Chains A and B, each alone.
Chain A
């Protein structure tokens, strides 16, 4: 075979291979069909397209902490958050460290921002403290130096303010939640047993069970009250039942306790999730929060897809009208380009955002430039009286430097946006840079292939 034919065969293989690979990556037929949130086929969608909560948290780590200790705190925080979020059953959450002291949490499909805030915002420091006195809020309390006033959890709930209580409690906790092994939501069908309809059952580990027993026996049954305090809010403050006291006296350990309260099921589940995962080693402050409702996300993706189709069709119809048969080559090149870009997005597990879709649309407009450059040069060569074959070669050759230039300039912008961009902007940079690189490939190989084919068929006239 002539080297020329071999080259074209190579080009054909590359183009067909790229098409096949992209289709496989996008549709992934080997994957079991399942509904996953925030994915379209195999393409991961940004939360601006599928709705959800994005939070950026900053760990409040004291200055002077060594980098190793800091990273330990971060690792622990990440795993606590992960446990909490998984316990709540959020599908495909994304919890990542960003920079030295930041954590980005993405919860697709979550519609309750308040729940998300509590999920990550509460340090979940559980303490059991002795109650000195309680009363309605606003009562004038006189607390001793080793005591302080904490509010009941009902006080923050508008519908429960009637039950709001303030408590004077000892500053020094009797015990902390570090010894907890699990916390579960329980439902109590029979009222009147001292338990609320929904309560949380705590199970202590071995150390905790011993500690809990020691705490109980130093209290006066049916008189002393012990408050379950989570993040400085009192959840419940029951007295110690006589039966519990007696059990504790007989045994070496008591491994269970309960937190009662006027919880809804959701609140109790959240609380149990937070308690089970354990306390965060540090406070995490929300420094950025973005919530996109599901309707806005759906609206954005629908508009984005419609706009892409229409932009594509308008530009391509224009190209065909203008360059006739050669216009179809441009159409083919751009379709190939889009297909491979989307395939790459799926393959690289990159996230498609709304600005990313805008990048694709922009690409349709800019991408044909390479074809226009080639076609215009070919027309010039034809005007000079060259035959089709010569015009193809000369046109291609002459346009090449300019094509390189136009790609490099766009790539500079795209790469800088990729480095400095965050969130959705990075999505724009991703599609733009991928698109520009792949466009070079489709023009140099795809467009070339079609023209080479025409040369081999010995076309006399170019439809351009």
Chain B
């Protein structure tokens, strides 16, 4: 009896069945169509941002933003009318849901930082009965706007270079290309989806995109490490089988890590307050896309190369 128990395979609590044999690679073409759409959307969004047609954050455009809290809610039309009468006809005005707050944003003008003071005075005068209180104001001058834009572009360029150097150092050529493509795929897909959701591109959103690039690369690296390990062990198996086995082996890790990250980010989205909401949303999309891409994008690209080439590279 004693013997029998020690021989039986251990069982673990698991969301993913003990030993999966899912044929991911057989379904690899399913992903291609979806990814093509996502990447195209991303490229389109990128062009929109580049040409200045996307909704850009105040830190890039310059101007003044102001959030006012009222004790008694002020109808947005009334506020708009008052603004228009006082020479702020082109101000954007937004109702912050669930609060008595209004967000006002104006373009950069000759008056520079004086605009915030004028707006504040205007609200205090015109809506005295509703007890306005300034929650926050932000003024970004033209030089800073240009500078932050440049900095964001440099951050993206340096991250890209950093990742490519890391990939080149860490992987052989073909794995490297596949990892790089998967990472770019993710960044563009998330960019496209964020744009489609009507998000305003702020520094925080760029930060989220770069974070996602790192996350997605990690995910790809985990899968690729396993494929390389298996290539060495099972030299006779067809490449498709080797990749499939590797994907199945790391599946529970992939799902588990994505789940814990997703849990944390969802909490951030729900409870982190308005400032962090879009940031959390981008991370949420990114975690899902990053997980999907390491299975359905990175690995199929490897398959395109013949097995012999890959094995030879791994052996070196």
Q: Are B263 and A420 in contact (CB-based, < 8 A)?
A: no
Chain B residues whose C-beta falls within 8 Å of the C-beta of A58 in the assembled complex: 143
Determine how close the nearest CB of chain A comes to the CB of B266; give it in whole angstroms: 8
Are B158 and A420 neighbours in the complex by a CB distance under 8 Å? yes
User: 1/0 per position for A402-419, CB-CB distance to B under 8 A?
Assistant: 100110111011101101
Known: A286-B113, A296-B135. 7 other contacts (CB 8 A): A290-B136, A293-B133, A303-B273, A369-B260, A409-B166, A412-B214, A413-B211
Q: Which of A76-84, A199-207, A232-240, A313-321 is the contact stretch?
A: A313-321
Tell me if B151 and A56 are in contact (CB < 8 A): no
Q: Is the CB of A406 within 8 A of B222?
A: yes
CB distance from B156 to the nearest CB of A (A): 9
Instruction: Decide if B267 touches A372 in the complex (CB within 8 Å).
Output: no
Closest chain-A Cβ to B108's Cβ sits at a distance in Å of: 11
- Chain A interface (Cβ < 8 Å from any Cβ of B): 48, 56, 58, 113-114, 117, 158, 285-293, 295-296, 299-300, 303-304, 306-307, 310-311, 314-315, 318-319, 321-324, 354-355, 357-358, 361-362, 364-366, 368-369, 372-373, 376, 379-380, 382-383, 385, 401-402, 405-406, 408-410, 412-414, 416-417, 419-422, 424-425, 428, 432, 461, 464
The proximity string for B residues 256-292 relative to A, scoring 1 for CB distances below 8 Å and 0 otherwise, is 1101111111011011110110011001000000000
Indicate if B249 sits at the interface (CB-CB under 8 A): yes
By a CB distance below 8 angstroms, the chain A residues around B252 are 376
The binding surface of chain B is classed by DSSP as helix
Indicate if the CB atoms of B170 and A362 lie closer than 8 Å.
Answer: no
Q: How far is the CA of A225 from the CA of B19 in the complex (A)?
A: 97
Given A361-B268, A413-B213: A289 and B163 interface contact (C-beta under 8 Å)? no
B115 to chain A, nearest CB (A): 10
Indicate whether B168 reaches chain A with its CB closer than 8 angstroms: no
Q: Would B117 and A114 count as touching, CB distance under 8 A?
A: yes
Most buried by B among A48, A401, A406, A416: A416
Q: Are A113 and B225 in contact (CB under 8 A)?
A: no
Q: Would you give the shortest CB distance from A346 to chain B, in whole angstroms? A: 23
B39 within 8 A of A: no
Residues on B with beta carbons closer than 8 Å to the beta carbon of A306: 271
Q: A406 and B221: CB pair below 8 A?
A: yes
B260 touching A291, Cβ below 8 Å: no
Which of A322, A354, A357 is close to B256, meaning CB atoms less than 8 Å apart? A322
Q: Which of B292-308 contact A (CB under 8 A)?
A: none
B contact residues around A158 at 8 Å (CB): 121
A358→B158 CA distance, assembly (Å): 23
Q: Which of A307, A361, A421 contacts B155 (CB 8 A)?
A: A421
- For the complex, give the distance between the alpha carbons of A366 and B148 in Å: 28
Instruction: Tell me how far the C-beta of A341 lies from the nearest C-beta in chain B, rounded to whole angstroms.
Output: 15
Mask, B1-25, CB within 8 Å of A = 1, is 0000000011011110011000000
Q: Are A292 and B256 in contact (CB under 8 A)?
A: no
A117 partner, pick from B13, B117, B256, beta carbons under 8 A: B117
- Shortest distance from the beta carbon of A54 to any chain B beta carbon, whole Å: 9
The smallest C-beta distance from A57 to any residue of chain B, in angstroms, reads 10
Question: Nearest Cβ in chain B — how far from A380, in angstroms?
Answer: 7
Instruction: Please give, as numbers and ranges, the residues of chain A lying within 8 Å of B113 by CB-CB distance.
Output: 117, 286, 289
In the assembled complex, the CB of B112 is this many whole angstroms from the nearest CB of chain A, namely: 7
Where the two chains meet, the residues of B that have a C-beta atom closer than 8 Å to any C-beta of A are 9-10, 12-15, 18-19, 67, 69, 112-113, 116-117, 120-121, 133-141, 143-144, 148, 151-152, 154-155, 158-159, 162-163, 166, 170, 203-204, 207, 210-211, 213-215, 217-218, 221-222, 225, 249-250, 252-253, 256-257, 259-265, 267-268, 270-273, 275-276, 279-280, 283
- Is the pair B271, A293 in contact by a Cβ cutoff of 8 Å? no
Residues of A within 8 A of B120 (CB): 113
8 closest Cβ pairs, A-B complex: A365-B264, A365-B261, A287-B141, A413-B214, A420-B155, A303-B273, A311-B267, A289-B139
For B138, what are the chain A residues with a Cβ–Cβ distance below 8 Å?
A: 289-291
Chain A residues whose C-beta falls within 8 Å of the C-beta of B250 in the assembled complex: 376
| CB-contact partner of B267 in A296, A307, A413, under 8 A | A307
CB <8 Å contact, A420 and B253: no
The minimal Cβ–Cβ distance linking A357 to chain B, given in whole angstroms, is 8
Contact A293 B261 (CB under 8 A): no
Are B112 and A286 neighbours in the complex by a CB distance under 8 Å? yes
Q: Which of A289, A303, A408, A416 contacts B271 (CB 8 A)?
A: A303
Judge whether A406 and B218 touch: CB under 8 Å: yes
- Taking a contact as CB atoms under 8 Å apart, the answer to whether B134 and A376 are in contact is no
- Is the beta-carbon distance between A362 and B211 smaller than 8 angstroms? yes
Q: A299-B273, A376-B253, A413-B213 are in contact. Are A362 and B264 (CB under 8 A)?
A: yes
> In whole angstroms, how far apart are the Cα atoms of A379 and B15 in the complex?
14
Complex: how many Å from CA A408 to CA B159? Answer: 12
Q: For the complex, what is the distance from the CA of A48 to the CA of B272, rounded to whole Å?
A: 14
Contact yes or no, A361 B112, CB < 8 A: no
Task: Return the contact of B215 from the options A293, A382, A410, A422 (Cβ within 8 A).
Answer: A410
Q: In angstroms, how far is the closest chain A Cβ from the Cβ of B193?
A: 19
A117 nearest CB across to chain B (Å): 7
| 8 Å CB contact of B225 from A295, A296, A369, A402 | A402
Instruction: A127 to B275: give the CA distance in the assembly, Å.
Output: 46
Instruction: Tell me the complex Cα distance, A56–B139, Å.
Output: 10
CB pairs A–B below 8 angstroms (9 shown): A303-B271, A303-B272, A322-B13, A362-B265, A362-B283, A372-B257, A380-B249, A409-B218, A425-B207
Q: Are B268 and A307 in contact (CB under 8 A)?
A: yes
Q: What is the minimal beta-carbon distance from B74 to any residue of chain A, in angstroms?
A: 17
**B204 close to A368 (CB less than 8 A):** no
| In the bound complex, CA of A321 to CA of B260 (Å) | 12
Specify the chain B residue showing the minimal Cβ separation from A54. B138
Residues of A contacting B152 in the complex (Cβ-Cβ under 8 angstroms): 420
CA distance A60 to B283 in the complex (A): 41
| Chain B residues with CB under 8 A of A314 | 263-264, 267
Measured between alpha carbons, how far is A37 from B143 in the docked complex, in Å? 31
Give Cα A303–Cα B214 distance, bound, in whole angstroms: 26
In contact, B158 and A416 (Cβ under 8 angstroms): yes
Query: How far does the alpha carbon of A419 sit from the alpha carbon of B271 in the complex, in Å?
Result: 29
Q: In the assembled complex, which residues on chain A have CB atoms less than 8 Å from the CB atom of B222?
A: 373, 402, 405-406
- Once A307-B271, A380-B249 are accepted as A-B contacts, the answer to whether A358 and B276 lie under 8 Å apart by CB is yes
- Nearest to A310 among chain B residues (CB) is B267
Q: Kindly report which residue of chain A lies nearest to residue B226, judged by CB atoms.
A: A402
Closest to B153 in A: A420
Q: Flag if B12 contacts A379 (CB, 8 Å).
A: yes
Residues of A near B170 (CB, < 8 A) are 405
**Identity of the chain A residue whose Cβ is nearest the Cβ of B283 in the assembled complex:** A362
Q: Are A288 and B256 in contact (CB under 8 A)?
A: no
Query: Are A300 and B275 in contact, CB atoms less than 8 angstroms apart?
Result: yes
